[in-house]
Each structure stands twice: as structure tokens, then as C-alpha cells.
Amino acid sequence: MISELFSPLALRSGQVLGNRIAKAAMEENMAGAGQLPDEELFTLYRRWAAGGTGLLITGNVMVHAEALTGPAGVVLDERAPLEPFVEWARAGKSGGGALWMQINHPGRQVTSDMPGVVWGPSDVGVSLGRHSSRFGSPTAMTARQIADTVTRFAVTAHRAEGAGFDGVEIHAAHGYLLSQFLSPLVNNRTDRWGGSLENRARMLLDVVRAVRAAVSPSFAVAVKLNSADFQRGGFDADDARQVIGMLEPLGVDLVELSGGSYESPAMTGRPADDRTQAREAYFLDLAEDLVRTSPLPLMLTGGITRRATAERVLDSGVAVVGMGTALAVTPDLPDRWRERREADRVMGPVTWSDKALASAAGMARVRYQMRRLARGAAPRPGTHPAFALISELRRQRVALRGYRAWLAEERGVPVR
């Protein structure tokens, strides 16, 4: 008998995923010259494509060239050449699985040394205690900036389809722009984008409508949503339930549930809520609650490393199991599971007392594994997080110089 893990999943767009295992988005921060994908990303995605997943979701692809989550972020806007994205799509689909592009705008989560813009629903900055100065001070978006950003999401989705991707995932989690609008802690607007949940969800719903209208009916459209922010008074599971209901009539194929933000980095395995700390499937308790009422199929991501855990997630009613770190360490893990084998090694969370620094080091350690895969090397899950973080900071300094020069010369944007 074939495990449900390896059964197909038909989506409302007509797309059929070959199995229920997805490589969830991990921000690679590996753009080449011109903020474009290059051979490193192609090699990385060929390795993942050969590993047996039914779905690969890329890391952040930015819709606005002046607003990046990191200086080596990939940009796909109306001016970006399409051929590198065509090659990326070929690489990601080379194993027979589907490839979706995660599309995103960082909003206020832009570091203070970056050129460009720092926008948010309000002028509420990222609060990280002594690390708060790492981020820029946001300005509240105007109605025109909101409308232009909605259009940018649609343009990126349309061009992703033209490049050969099978779908897009709109990122409305982890404290990025659309998540900021959803959050009552960050969004203190008093106009049509603030106040009630219906108003706070308006930008996300407008983005979904614009994207769905810009792509073919057979092109998948997914949304990544926090099951909760893990901050007192923030976006919670009941909000998530209502937003999923709002998304259902708009042609969404799948909702991926995650959680947390830079301020409360639950997605890295250090949630603020002790009930979900130090165990696999960080958000399963919340997903089990949401799946009972969800009119859309759900994907759950966060801390899944073993087949037994993945099967427990599917048994709860979740449709797709998403994995990030596990596939950065063992890119062929789905094929291993098919053969009743497990990963040789796993990489747990960084347990430093400074949770903001621990989150940064944890993400740096994952990126270090991805870069090794991209060079054709084997992962090193035992890499010390301090080493990975220092290596990451050095790479980011070099990338920042390149991004500053590109933005100033190619896009005519002054360095702030």
C-alpha cells in the first residue's frame, strides 16, 4: 500500500502535485549580478529536483527592486531579463515535480544599511531590543504606494508564468509586508486598510485578486500565512481561520501555514510560545485546529524531519508537508522516505539566549548548507552557528556593495 505521503494531490487550478512533500521556501540570498538567478541557484534546484519532492517552492523573489529582504535577493519585476528565470524553472522542474515561485515584499523588515525604501502599513519599526537599530525606520504607505505594490505582485506572477514556473506563493507570513498589514500590532491605520480584520486583510486580498487575474486559470496561486504571530495581541489562529475563509472565493489553490516573525522567530524553532518549543512540527497544534474549518487545502511547515512526523501531519488532515532545513541537509530525503530510510544527520535549532541573534545564526547555518549544495558539495550540518553567521555577514557586505551599485546605476535610485 502506498503511503499517503506519496499519493498525488489535485488542486483547484487543475494542477496535480505528484506527492504530498514540498520543499518549503528558504531565503537563499544567492542572487548573481543584476539581482538575477545564476548557476549557483540552478545547481541547487537541480539537486532538490532530483530528490523526490512533489513541489519545490523558491525562496523570496522580490517584487520591488528598491525593497529587498537582503542585498543578494533575486528581483523579478517588469525590467528584469526573463532568460535567467527560464533557466531556473528548467532546473527546478528537471526531476518531474512542480516549481512555484515565492513572491514577496519586505515592508519594514529591511536592514538599516540597505538603499531603497522602508515601507509599512504604519511607522511602527521592528522591535528587537538592542538589535532594533539593525532595521530601518519605516514610513506609512500611501494609497498610491499600496496600489502600485499590488500591481508589482501581479507583474511578478505574470512573468513567473512566462518563465515556465508552475505557480506562485504570495508571502503573507513571517512579518513581511502583507503580514504587517494583517497584524494589529504593526498596522495602526485608521483608513480602509486598518482597524477591522477585513480592512487589515484588504491588501492581501487585493494582491491575490490581481495575481489570479494576471495568470492563467491552470497556474497555481498559493498564500503563505502565519497560523499565529506568537506575540501577545498579534495576529492569532482565529484571525488565520477568518483570512483563510476570505481567500477561498478568490481562486487560491493552497494555504501554507507557518508562524512567527523577526520579532518572534517561531519559524526557526525558537517560538515565544513554550507549548511549541523544542519539538517537531512546531505549528501542528494550531494547524489541527484550523484544518477542521478550512475550505482550502493546507500545507504545514516547521521542524518536520522524520517520516513518522510527516505522516502524523497528514493524518491530521493537512494536505501537504513542507520542509526547509531538513532538505538543506538531506536534499534526497523524500526518496529516502520512499525506501523507508531516514536522514543520516539532522540540524537542530540554535539555542543561544539572545533569540534574535540565534534566529540570524540559525538562518545563516541553513544558507551555508544551501551554498555547499549549490557548489556540488555535501552539506555539513555540524557547522558551528557562529562560523556560519560570520561567513554570512562577510558575504552580505560584498553583496551590499553590488546591490548599491546596481540600484544606483541601472535603476537610478540614489543611495540613502
Please write the tens of the pLDDT for every residue from 281-331.
657 777 788 899 999 999 998 889 999 999 999 999 999 999 999 999 999
Q: How many residues does the chain have?
A: 416
State the distance between the two ends of the chain, measured CA to CA, in whole angstroms: 60
Mean pLDDT of 18-35: 97
Q: Is 41 within the bounds of a domain?
A: yes
- Judged on CB neighbours under 10 Å (0-12, 13-18, 19+), 349 is buried
In this predicted structure, what is the pLDDT of residue 236?
85
Helices and strands per DSSP (H, E), number in the chain = 13, 14
Measure the CA–CA gap between 370 and 331, rounded to whole angstroms.
10
List the single range of 31-35, 47-51, 123-127 with lowest mean pLDDT. Answer: 123-127
In this predicted structure, what is the pLDDT of residue 231?
57
Q: How many CA atoms lie within 13 A of 220 on its CB side?
A: 28
Contact between 328 and 370 under an 8 Å Cβ cutoff? The reply is yes
For 157, residues 6+ apart whose C-beta sits below 8 A from its C-beta are: 101, 103, 168, 211, 214, 215, 219, 221
The secondary structure element, H or E, covering residue 244 is helix 237-247
**pLDDT at residue 96 greater than cutoff 60:** yes
- Residue identified by cell 480584520 is 197
Q: Is 64 within the bounds of a domain?
A: yes
Q: 232: pLDDT confidence band, cut at 50, 70 and 90? A: low
Measure the CA–CA gap between 219 and 298, rounded to whole angstroms.
18
Chain center to CA of 279: 21
Contact between 349 and 270 under an 8 Å Cβ cutoff? The reply is yes
In this predicted structure, what is the pLDDT of residue 1?
39
Tens-place pLDDT, residues 180-195: 999 999 999 999 999 9
- The larger pLDDT score, comparing residue 368 to residue 413, is at 368
In this predicted structure, what is the pLDDT of residue 21?
98
Nearest in space to 309 (alpha carbons), one of 289, 329, 280: 280
The secondary structure element, H or E, covering residue 321 is strand 320-323
Query: 171 in the Ramachandran plot: left (φ > 0), alpha (ψ -120 to 50) or beta?
Result: beta
In this predicted structure, what is the pLDDT of residue 127?
72
Q: 201: pLDDT confidence band, cut at 50, 70 and 90? A: very high
**pLDDT at residue 386 greater than cutoff 60:** yes
Q: 265: pLDDT confidence band, cut at 50, 70 and 90? A: very low
Q: 262: pLDDT confidence band, cut at 50, 70 and 90? A: low
Q: How many CA atoms lie within 13 A of 206 on its CB side?
A: 19
- Please give the single-letter amino acid code of residue 118: V
In this predicted structure, what is the pLDDT of residue 346?
87
Mean pLDDT of 155-159: 98
**Would you call 380 helix, strand, or coil by DSSP?**
coil
In this predicted structure, what is the pLDDT of residue 7?
97
Q: How many CA atoms lie within 13 A of 87 on its CB side?
A: 13
Measure the CA–CA gap between 230 and 292, rounded to whole angstroms.
21
Contact between 154 and 212 under an 8 Å Cβ cutoff? The reply is no
Other CB atoms within 10 Å distance of the CB of residue 8 = 10
**pLDDT at residue 269 greater than cutoff 60:** no
Share of the chain above pLDDT 90, in %: 79
Q: 272: pLDDT confidence band, cut at 50, 70 and 90? A: very low
Mean pLDDT of 356-366: 91
Q: Which grid cell is 165?
A: 514556473
> Could you give the number of structural domains in the chain?
1
Q: Is 415 within the bounds of a domain?
A: no
For 335, residues 6+ apart whose C-beta sits below 8 A from its C-beta are: 51, 52
Measure the CA–CA gap between 70 and 85, rounded to whole angstroms.
19
Q: 213: pLDDT confidence band, cut at 50, 70 and 90? A: very high
Q: Is 416 within the bounds of a domain?
A: no
- The larger pLDDT score, comparing residue 126 to residue 66, is at 66
Q: Is 52 within the bounds of a domain?
A: yes
In this predicted structure, what is the pLDDT of residue 276?
38
In this predicted structure, what is the pLDDT of residue 197?
97
- The larger pLDDT score, comparing residue 415 to residue 372, is at 372
- The larger pLDDT score, comparing residue 53 to residue 270, is at 53
**pLDDT at residue 212 greater than cutoff 80:** yes
Q: Is 276 within the bounds of a domain?
A: yes
CATH number, domain of 204, equals: 3.20.20.70
Domain that holds residue 178: 4-410
- Cα–Cα–Cα angle for 121, 125, 131, rounded to 5 degrees: 150
Compute the mean pLDDT over every residue in the chain, rounded to the nearest whole number: 91
Q: 270: pLDDT confidence band, cut at 50, 70 and 90? A: very low
CA 357, 283, 327, 177 torsion-angle sign: negative
